């Protein structure tokens, strides 16, 4: 039995090339497609001409229901492989352990009956009372019953045991391949569901159902329902005013006449970008900026992503010896 591989998006391009390579190596290929049925059927015909087996499977792996169907089909194939393995193991066990006493007795009874019939027909055939064709049939049954009885009595030949062992090993490999296909299908099923990294409110959806997306593409925007925080970029020339753990004052244009308090929780060790290039005014170096994250300690008003905040570091208590962590 040839191994089987399921290739998603196999009707064209890299998927089709991969399917051809597997077929050339003797694999049976399941060609998955979504819309390109004609291309998939042409590829299946091509793969069959290479001497292997190939079948087209229509499914959109981005749709949970269809991905689930692929899982069910893969699990069904796994069940068939396991059934074949169990049957092969039973044959091997029988070959290794020999026939049961009742099997030997049954084979002997069949052999005794065929032998007695054969012995009775021999003189009749010699006298011409039985046709040659009838006697040949009787003789064939006698010889067959004799072989079955001797096998049951003496056990399987070494080559029969080796053949049974080979069948077991082949089905074991088939089961492993089927298990891999189930795992792959389950992976597609999991990938058909987008999971948010945390609780929050979706503020924007950037794609629509059926739209092709690429790795790293932003699918949606999520406002986390966690503690409020503000991130500001501080020039390196002003970093002496900033210490991790210091208290700062904040104001928001959205809430005029109100002020709030916050705590610096992180000062980035890596610069974000250069906000000023080297000039005569600031010397022969670029002025970099560093991200500073501030936790809001007493925020009572609703906040929204992207709002403008003004942070006052000048009121902070920068005691000598304070260190960045």
Considering the domain architecture, whether residues 133 and 277 belong to the same structural domain is answered as: no
| Lowest model confidence (mean pLDDT) among 91-100, 102-111, 268-277 | 91-100
Handedness of CA 100, 106, 109, 115 (dihedral sign): negative
Tokens 């090993």 sit on residue = 169
Separation of alpha carbons 82 and 174, rounded Å? 8
pLDDT given at position 241? 87
Question: Residue 248: pLDDT band by 50, 70, 90 thresholds?
Answer: very high
CATH number at residue 10: 3.40.50.720
Instruction: Report CA 6 to chain centroid distance, whole Å.
Output: 11
| CA-based R_g, the chain, Å | 39
Considering the domain architecture, whether residues 177 and 286 belong to the same structural domain is answered as: no
Residue 160 lies in a domain: no
Question: Residue 171: pLDDT band by 50, 70, 90 thresholds?
Answer: low
Considering the domain architecture, whether residues 175 and 118 belong to the same structural domain is answered as: no
Separation of alpha carbons 316 and 325, rounded Å? 17
Q: Give the DSSP H/E element, type plus range, for residue 294.
A: strand 287-296
Question: Residue 251: pLDDT band by 50, 70, 90 thresholds?
Answer: very high
Question: Residue 322: pLDDT band by 50, 70, 90 thresholds?
Answer: very low
Residue 304 lies in a domain: yes
* Long-range contact pairs involving 275-280 (C-beta distance under 8 Å, separation at least 24): 275/233, 275/235, 276/235
Considering the domain architecture, whether residues 177 and 71 belong to the same structural domain is answered as: yes
Closest Cα partner for 50 from 89, 83, 21? 21
- pTM, to two decimals: 0.35
279: DSSP letter: B
Considering the domain architecture, whether residues 147 and 175 belong to the same structural domain is answered as: no
pLDDT given at position 265? 93
The residues, any chain, with a CB within 8 Å of residue 33's CB and separated by 6 or more, are 9, 10, 11, 39, 40, 56, 57, 58
Q: Residue 242 corresponds to which tokens in the numbers above?
A: 């900033």
When divided into structural domains, the chain yields a total of: 3
Considering the domain architecture, whether residues 67 and 103 belong to the same structural domain is answered as: no
- Residue 187: which domain range? 4-93+170-191
Q: Residue 68 corresponds to which tokens in the numbers above?
A: 């689930």
Residue 164 lies in a domain: no
pLDDT given at position 318? 43
Question: Residue 95: pLDDT band by 50, 70, 90 thresholds?
Answer: low
Top-confidence range, 139-143, 175-179, 190-194, 253-257: 253-257
Considering the domain architecture, whether residues 81 and 112 belong to the same structural domain is answered as: no
Residue 318 lies in a domain: no
Q: Is the pLDDT of residue 126 over 70?
A: yes
Q: Is the pLDDT of residue 282 over 50?
A: yes
* CA-CA-CA-CA dihedral for 256, 258, 261, 262, to nearest 10: -20
pLDDT given at position 199? 79
Considering the domain architecture, whether residues 70 and 16 belong to the same structural domain is answered as: yes
Burial label, 35 (beta-carbon count in 10 A; 0-12, 13-18, 19+)? exposed
> Above pLDDT 90, what percent of the chain?
9
Q: Is the pLDDT of residue 252 over 90?
A: yes
């Amino acid at each position: 039995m040839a191994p089987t591989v399921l290739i998603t998006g196999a009707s064209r391009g890299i998927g089709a090339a991969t399917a051809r390579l597997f077929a050339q190596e003797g694999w049976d290929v399941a060609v998955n497609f979504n819309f390109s049925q004609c291309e998939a059927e042409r590829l299946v015909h091509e793969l069959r001409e290479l001497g292997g087996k190939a079948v087209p499977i229509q499914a959109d792996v981005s749709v949970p229901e269809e991905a689930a169907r692929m899982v069910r089909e893969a699990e069904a194939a796994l069940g068939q492989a396991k059934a074949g393995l169990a049957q092969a193991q039973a044959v091997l066990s029988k070959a290794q352990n020999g026939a049961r006493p009742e099997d030997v007795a049954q084979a002997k009874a069949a052999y005794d009956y065929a032998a007695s019939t054969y012995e009775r027909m021999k003189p009749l055939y010699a006298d011409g009372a039985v046709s040659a064709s009838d006697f040949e049939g009787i003789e064939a049954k006698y010889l067959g019953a004799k072989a079955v009885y001797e096998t049951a009595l003496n056990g399987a030949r070494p080559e029969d045991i080796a053949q049974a062992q080979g069948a077991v090993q082949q089905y074991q490999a088939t089961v492993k391949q089927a298990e891999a296909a189930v795992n792959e299908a389950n992976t597609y099923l999991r990938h058909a569901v987008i999971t948010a990294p945390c609780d929050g409110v979706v503020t924007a959806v950037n794609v629509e159902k059926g739209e092709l997306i690429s790795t790293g593409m932003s699918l949606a925007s999520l406002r986390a329902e966690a503690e409020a925080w503000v991130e500001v970029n501080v020039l390196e020339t002003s970093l002496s005013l900033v210490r991790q753990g210091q208290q700062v004052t904040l104001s928001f244009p959205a809430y005029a006449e109100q002020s709030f308090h916050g705590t610096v929780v992180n000062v980035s060790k890596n610069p974000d970008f250069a906000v000023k290039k080297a000039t005569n005014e600031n010397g022969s170096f670029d002025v970099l900026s560093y991200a500073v994250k501030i936790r809001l300690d007493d925020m009572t008003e609703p906040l929204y992503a992207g709002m403008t905040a003004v942070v006052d570091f000048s009121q902070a208590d920068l005691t000598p010896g304070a260190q960045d962590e």
